[in-house]
Amino acid sequence: MADVNKFDILVIGSLNADLVVRAPRFPKPGETLGGGDLLTIPGGKGANQAVAAARQGVQVGMVGRVGSDNFGPVLVENLKSNHVDTSRVATADSATGTAIIVVDDDGQNSIVLSAGANGQVLAADVDSAPDAKILLLQFEIPMETVVHAAKRYKARGAAVILNPAPARSIPNELLASVDILVPNESELSLLTGIPVGDESSAELAAREILKQGVKIVIVTLGSRGALIVTESQVIQVDAFKVDVVDTTAAGDAFIGGFAAKLLAVNAQSVDFAVDLSVLEGAVRYGCACGALAATKLGAQPSLPSKADVAAFMQ
């Protein structure tokens, strides 16, 4: 794909080979369970969010690293086939990042990550990347790289969206550079030390995050939808009801769809002074993307297209 000077959305994050097996339930310690066929599926939170956004018709670039094994070229070619620019995806002298995923009969998942090449995404990779209207970040690459990227792109006028997953504590200097934080309930609880189990506690915890400079907190609530919290308003957005097959990339589908929808309304840049109804509409669109992703097995194969979402929301 041809190189560009400025992307609609730039994702700096992970690329993983997902090794997926279905089982009736999660095994207990020391227990062996019979499962289905082993599937190897392109994944990684960064790559998932890149594909999720690209399938909504926006121009997306990816910064990351794959390993020098057989998985690396497969992951890069899959991004290319989904119209994601891979000119800033480098090859490290290591194994490609891998996720071992068990999916139970209820569609819930249990995941073990091996960082591999994702652990070698460095500040220098960030500094050589083009500008963007929106920057998407997650925590499957080194924290110092995430902090550097947020500061750099915030200073260059991009809207910085952070998905703080997998859950871990966040340096204050990172939150100061984040415009929109998109945690789930457990991630929000870890960040604030406030137990989060319902909308009321989610709002309380989100307000603690706003005090640290974040403009908007969007708490994803799974089957209960999402909660938008700003300094002036709280909005509950209901989920779409679907038959759940696998939740593996539902959160990534939400974020990619949400970011793409924001750009559809704000073509030149993301304006945080927009009417909150615009923000609510983008979150509802993200919820539709997440719901559709949960109806199929696997990470990137489950991510819906713009046409899929349009038909579903009808």
pLDDT at 246: 81
pLDDT category at 274 given cuts 50, 70, 90 is low
Q: Which two tokens stand for residue 134?
A: 């929106």
Nearest to 117 by CA among 46, 38, 182: 46
Report the predicted TM-score, pTM, of the whole model to 2 decimal places.
Answer: 0.92
- Whether residue 268 is predicted with pLDDT greater than 70 in this model: the reply is no
Partnered with residue 9 across adjacent β-strands are 60, 134
pLDDT digits 0-9 by tens, 87-141:
999 999 999 999 898 989 888 888 898 999 999 999 999 999 999 999 999 999 9
Domain 6-14+44-95+116-313: top CATH class:
alpha beta
- Ranges of each domain in the chain: 6-14+44-95+116-313
pLDDT reading at 276 higher than 80? no
pLDDT of residue 297: 82
Percent of the chain scored above 70 by pLDDT? 96
β-strand 109-114 against 39-43: which pairing, if any? unpaired
What is the per-residue pLDDT for 301? 81
Q: Is residue 1's pLDDT more than 50?
A: no
- By the 10 Å C-beta count (0-12 exposed, 13-18 middle, 19+ buried), 205 is classed as buried
C-alpha 250 chain-centroid distance: 9
Residue 64 neighbours by CB under 8 Å, 6+ apart: 11, 12, 13, 14, 15, 44, 46, 47, 88, 89, 90, 117, 118, 121, 125, 141
Quickly list DSSP for 120-153: G--HHHHHTSPEEEEEEE-SSS-HHHHHHHHHHH
Residue 258 CB: number of other CB atoms within 10 A?
A: 31
**DSSP single-letter state for residue 45:** H
pLDDT at 208 (0 to 100): 95
C-alpha torsion angle, residues 218, 269, 65, 113 (rounded to 10): 10
Q: What was the pLDDT predicted at 4?
A: 72
| Cα dihedral value 90, 125, 155, 80, nearest 10 | 0
CA-nearest of 41, 20, 47 to 117 is 47
Q: Which amino acid is at 314?
A: Q
Residue 269 has pLDDT above 70, yes or no: no
Residues with catalytic annotation? 252
C-beta separation of 135 from 156 below 8 A: no
What confidence score (pLDDT) does residue 222 get? 87
Structure tokens at 25: 């339930």
